[in-house]
Structure 1
Amino acid sequence: MSWADKLNGTRNQLRALNKTIPETTRAFGALGKSVKEGGVLDFKTKEFIALGIAVADRCEACIVLHIEALVRAGASREEIGDVLAMTIQMGGGPSMMYAAKALECYDEMTAG
């Protein structure tokens, strides 16, 4: 399955969840919006942090969503690499395996 397929599948799963528990998902969305728009760090930096956590927690759905956001924010492959290196340093072998997945996702999403 390609990362584009995973992105579409994740979006479909979230749409179904939104229909089932709309108040909860709206509240979670509001939290995300306030965190990403407030504070002193810029959006891209916050997405780099989110990507590192997604890799460390081994969440492919999170990886694809945060890579998509970073591609839209103009993140370079080198910046992604730096984030992945830090994540590997903090998370060891499992983070290394998911860092490889995240880099593959970035490459696929920027190829076309």
Structure 2
Amino acid sequence: MSSFDSIGLMKSINDNLGPFRKSQSETMLGFGQMAKSAMAEGVVSAKNKELIALAIGVTQHCAGCIAFHVKALHRLGCTRAELEEAMGVCVYMGGGPALMLVAEALAAFDAMTPA
């Protein structure tokens, strides 16, 4: 059983950051532009960039990162097999703590997969 609701977590984060986006609009515009540029299709595909970002989120223990990057991976057509292979690298690099969050990433992927 997942310890967090990834879809609810994303909504909560977005709701809670709403006032911050307004008070710090220039910073948030800059952050958004940096994200758009960093994640754009290039020599490294956008899907592979999202897998990298998810791996960093897992190894840094960031539940919100996991939720948002899994959502992006769904949009980019990532398969569960691709996700699992990338998560294997997370376990290798991050050990037991990463393994616990791999469970969250897999649960988030499943929760966002249409029945």
TM-score w.r.t. length of structure 2? 0.90
Q: Does the CA-based 8 Å contact 2:10-2:68 persist in structure 1?
A: yes
Letter in 2 for 1:62: C
Tell me which residue corresponds to 2:31.
28
Tell me which residue corresponds to 1:68.
71
1:41 maps onto 2:83 in alignment:
no
Following superposition, the deviation at residue 8 of structure 1 comes to 1.0
Q: Which of 1 and 2 has higher RCO (CA within 8 Å, sep 6+)?
A: 2
SS of the aligned residue for 1:32 comes to helix
SS of the aligned residue for 1:18 comes to helix
1:24, 1:105 → 2: CA distance? Answer: 29
1:32, 1:2 → 2: CA distance? Answer: 24
Give unpaired runs (5+ residues) of structure 2.
none
1:19 maps onto 2:22 in alignment:
yes
Letter in 1 for 2:104: K
Aligned residue pair count: 112
Give unpaired runs (5+ residues) of structure 1.
none
Deviations 1:13-51 (A, max 9, x none): 232321121111111111111112264111100000000
Letter in 2 for 1:90: M
Identify which range, 89-98 or 14-23, moves more after superposition: 14-23
Tell me which residue corresponds to 1:54.
57
